[in-house]
């Protein structure tokens, strides 16, 4: 959702600089596009003078649900997953969301070594199936048990391997063309053709 009236370009740039991870390109690129498409009348958009064309702006009208938190039905449950290596959405925000949810049927599981896409970055290690991650298993169990958190199978969480910087042989050979990821000699014959 875009904030209206649109803050000045300087304010948007200041917010990006103060954030932990973001790109200023988004605002410098999207601000003129937003102003053009919406025909917003604001100090920030007026500097571009893009809204003078015939036709209406392309924007949804705000209704009674705009900028309001959803109220969960009393029988709803929520499973949140977070990763401590997620620099885009740090797990503290999942914790804030958990606190704000108006239900007692809620749970947050945070993985020590998972990144932004917890479902696919929570690998079990030890040569296990790279698709059947712990996050994926949790989501499957949640769905299979109709969202009943009491029946959620959490066993994979305690079976997670410790963090490991080693690179699987297949990837060493096919991606890096070496036997050793950190000091290995380049061997083109190792890669697949």
Q: Which of 148, 123, 147 is nearest to 135 (CA)?
A: 123
Domain boundaries, the chain: 1-63, 78-158, 164-193
Q: For the CA atoms of 13, 53, 40, 20, what is the dihedral angle to 10 degrees?
A: -20
Q: Token digits for 45? A: 């958009």
Q: What pLDDT, on the 0 to 100 scale, is given for residue 151? A: 98
Residue 193: is its pLDDT beyond 60? no
Quickly state the pLDDT bin for 127 (edges 50, 70, 90): low
Quickly state the pLDDT bin for 95 (edges 50, 70, 90): very high
Q: What pLDDT, on the 0 to 100 scale, is given for residue 17? A: 82
Q: Token digits for 72? A: 């969960």
0.95 surpassed by pTM = no
Q: Which of 76, 22, 30 is nearest to 50 (CA)?
A: 30
Q: What pLDDT, on the 0 to 100 scale, is given for residue 104? A: 92
Q: For the CA atoms of 174, 171, 138, 84, what is the dihedral angle to 10 degrees?
A: -130
The segment with the largest mean pLDDT, out of 12-21, 67-76, 93-102, is: 93-102
Residues 157 and 163 sit within 8 Å (Cβ to Cβ): no
Average pLDDT across the chain, whole number: 86
Q: What is the average per-residue pLDDT within 8-18?
A: 85
Regarding predicted confidence, which is higher, 23 or 115? 115
Q: What pLDDT, on the 0 to 100 scale, is given for residue 1? A: 67
Residue 190: is its pLDDT beyond 90? no
Q: What pLDDT, on the 0 to 100 scale, is given for residue 3? A: 83
The percent of residues above 90 in pLDDT, for the chain, comes to 29
Residues 103 and 72 sit within 8 Å (Cβ to Cβ): yes
End-to-end CA distance of the chain: 46
């Amino acid at each position: 959702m875009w904030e209206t009236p649109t803050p000045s370009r300087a304010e948007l740039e200041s917010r990006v600089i103060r954030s932990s991870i973001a790109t200023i390109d988004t605002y410098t690129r999207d601000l003129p596009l937003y102003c053009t498409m919406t025909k917003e009348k604001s100090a920030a958009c007026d500097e571009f003078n893009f809204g003078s064309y015939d036709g209406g702006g392309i924007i949804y009208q705000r209704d009674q649900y705009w900028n309001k938190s959803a109220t969960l039905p009393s029988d709803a449950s929520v499973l949140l997953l977070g990763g401590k290596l997620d620099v885009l959405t740090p797990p503290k925000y999942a914790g804030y969301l958990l606190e704000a949810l108006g239900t007692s049927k809620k749970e947050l599981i945070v993985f020590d070594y998972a990144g932004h896409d917890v479902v696919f970055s929570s690998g079990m290690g030890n040569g296990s199936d790279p698709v059947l991650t712990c996050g994926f298993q949790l989501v499957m169990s949640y769905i299979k048990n109709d969202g009943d958190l009491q029946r959620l199978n959490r066993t994979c969480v305690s079976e997670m391997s410790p963090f490991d910087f080693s690179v699987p042989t297949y990837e060493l050979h096919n991606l890096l063309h070496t036997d050793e990821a950190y000091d290995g000699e380049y061997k083109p014959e190792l890669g697949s053709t």
